Amino acid sequence: MNITEKFKSIFSQFEKDVSLINAGLREVPKSKSDKQEINITDKQIKSALQNIVRQKKNTDHFIKDFNHNFEKLNSSIIMCSSPKSFMTAWRLRSKELSKYDAEKIINDGGQIIPSTQRTRFRLIKPEEQGVMYNLSKSKDLIHVISHNEGNYDDHLDDLGVFKYQPPVNVSGMLKYRWCQFLSKHLKVDFIVIARMWFQYKYFDEWTLGFILAPAKIIQFEDDLKDLNTSLHNPLTLQIITREEALSSCHKLLSLDVDTFDIPIRTDLEDTKALEWSYDKLSTPGKTSKGTKIKKWAQKNNKKCLDGRKCNNILFKDLKTSEIAFGHVISQKWCDAFGFLRRKKHHPDNLYLTCNKCNSSLSDNFPGSKLQKTISNEEGTIGDWLRNSEEDINNMGKKPSE
Ligand SMILES: [Zn+2]
């Protein structure tokens, strides 16, 4: 399916899901301790939906807007602060930034950016609005969210996770669900910029400034199960590093690149890549990382994707000692070229194979057919970690094993 068809089908599915939303009362937070009931009508639901799905008629235009949104976001990332500093700023719980507060934020990897009216970029204009959308006709993609101290439930946990309430109108609520919906169906993290305003004293005058950090929309599965009950739910977001945001933006901007027919991956976090690198995986032992992956593959009916010698045998029909980690780009080739050396044992350069197929490959690369299979079936160890790290880690934890 090419990207235009893909978006068309996402629009149709969304239309279907929204049609199950009923009119009626919804309870939404008014302030930290107060709630209010708002009445939602069929007409409002219909018009909010139309605003989004009318783009189905001109999907190519929508894709242009979509790319534009993330190109813009991509170039804002350079102004973003570290998650640690953003969390420090959040926890100050004050709109006025003292010299010492500022020092602390900067030492934690923050950048404080002075705001100015004299710019055409809304991101750095002093506008006190909650959520800012992309500048397309329908304004349906969340671009920036501003955090205002003291609003609603503004708890931020140690992983940088927080909730963000929707505007008190159906159109705004539905856009929250739409961005979650896109994230789910495009299988990529939806990235926004989180912004926090401050006043700080420059010489003897109070000036407006802010700090930014990228965030991704997370934990949306439950919301998308039934839009009728979740319509007015907040978004759950997590502050992320610039590096992760850039990697996700790259993926969001590569959705229409189908030249090689190879899905574009987001980078694996460095710590994860080291934790599951080849040298760790090849350490023997019943509870070693390598054994965990092999057992997980057996349990999940994974097979040897190579198959030249084994006819694609299921790993569960082999002993763990008969299973090996193969390199997509061969070890010798990586050794020969310095720029590859550091990535030689990266989980995305590894796939699971039977001993027989692996040794017949010797120092060669997998053939183009196998390369494609590994990619399309998400068969690198990195892919497995992206999708199932928790399960893999839990292998061998049960007392029966
Ligand atoms: Zn094999």
325-351 tens-digit pLDDT: 999 999 999 998 888 888 999 999 999
Instruction: For residues 276 and 216, state if they share a domain.
Output: no
Instruction: For residues 196 and 146, state if they share a domain.
Output: yes
| Adjacent-strand bridge partners of 208 | 199
Ligand 1 centroid vs 321 CA: distance in angstroms? 13
Ligand 1 centroid vs 182 CA: distance in angstroms? 37
pLDDT of 245 reads 95
Ligand 1 centroid vs 284 CA: distance in angstroms? 21
pLDDT of 261 reads 63
Residue 56 in tokens: 């189905």
Ligand 1 centroid vs 315 CA: distance in angstroms? 9
Ligand 1 centroid vs 276 CA: distance in angstroms? 22
Position 149 confidence tier, pLDDT thresholds 50, 70, 90: low
Is residue 222 a part of any domain in this protein? yes
pLDDT tens for 41-96 read 999 999 999 999 999 999 989 999 999 999 999 999 999 999 999 999 998 877 88
Ligand 1 centroid vs 149 CA: distance in angstroms? 58
Is residue 217 a part of any domain in this protein? yes
Instruction: For residues 281 and 176, state if they share a domain.
Output: no
What CA–CA distance (Å, rounded) separates 251 from 74?
11
Residue 88, CB-side half-sphere exposure with 13 Å CA sphere: 20
Backbone φ and ψ of 46, nearest 5°: -60, -45
Ligand 1 centroid vs 302 CA: distance in angstroms? 11
Taking every pair of Cα atoms in the chain, the longest distance, rounded to a whole number of angstroms, is: 78
Instruction: For residues 150 and 120, state if they share a domain.
Output: yes
Ligand 1 centroid vs 285 CA: distance in angstroms? 23
Ligand 1 centroid vs 359 CA: distance in angstroms? 10
Ligand 1 centroid vs 379 CA: distance in angstroms? 14
Instruction: For residues 312 and 167, state if they share a domain.
Output: no
Output helix, strand, coil percentages for the chain, rounded to the nearest 5: 45, 20, 35
Ligand 1 centroid vs 261 CA: distance in angstroms? 24
- For the segment 91-119, the average pLDDT, to the nearest whole number, is 89
Is residue 283 a part of any domain in this protein? yes
Instruction: For residues 235 and 346, state if they share a domain.
Output: no
Ligand 1 centroid vs 308 CA: distance in angstroms? 6
What CA–CA distance (Å, rounded) separates 128 from 195?
10
Ligand 1 centroid vs 356 CA: distance in angstroms? 6
Instruction: For residues 239 and 277, state if they share a domain.
Output: no
Instruction: For residues 248 and 295, state if they share a domain.
Output: no
Instruction: Report the residue count for the chain.
Output: 401
Ligand 1 centroid vs 220 CA: distance in angstroms? 38
Ligand 1 centroid vs 396 CA: distance in angstroms? 24
Instruction: For residues 36 and 147, state if they share a domain.
Output: yes
Is residue 262 a part of any domain in this protein? no
Instruction: For residues 170 and 299, state if they share a domain.
Output: no
Ligand 1 centroid vs 251 CA: distance in angstroms? 31
Is residue 81 a part of any domain in this protein? yes
Is residue 327 a part of any domain in this protein? yes
Ligand 1 centroid vs 369 CA: distance in angstroms? 14
Ligand 1 centroid vs 311 CA: distance in angstroms? 7
Ligand 1 centroid vs 382 CA: distance in angstroms? 20
| pLDDT(200) > 50 | yes
pLDDT of 283 reads 87
% pLDDT > 90, the chain: 62
Dihedral of CA atoms 225, 228, 231, 237 in degrees, nearest 10, equals: -10
Identify the domain boundary among 253, 286, 315. Answer: 253
Identify the domain boundary among 198, 223, 253. Answer: 253
Is residue 112 a part of any domain in this protein? yes
| Structural domains in the chain (count) | 2
Ligand 1 centroid vs 21 CA: distance in angstroms? 50
What CA–CA distance (Å, rounded) separates 133 from 178?
12
First to last CA, the chain: 43
Q: Please provide the average confidence, as pLDDT, over all residues in the chain.
A: 90
Identify the domain boundary among 253, 282, 303. Answer: 253
**CB distance 213 to 244 below 8 Å:** no
Q: Please give the DSSP secondary-structure letter assigned to residue 238.
A: E
**CB distance 353 to 330 below 8 Å:** no
Instruction: For residues 102 and 153, state if they share a domain.
Output: yes
Is residue 264 a part of any domain in this protein? no
Ligand 1 centroid vs 28 CA: distance in angstroms? 56
- For the segment 217-241, the average pLDDT, to the nearest whole number, is 95
Please give the residue range of the domain that contains residue 327: 270-394
Position 124 confidence tier, pLDDT thresholds 50, 70, 90: confident
pLDDT of 399 reads 54
Instruction: For residues 103 and 207, state if they share a domain.
Output: yes
Ligand 1 centroid vs 160 CA: distance in angstroms? 43
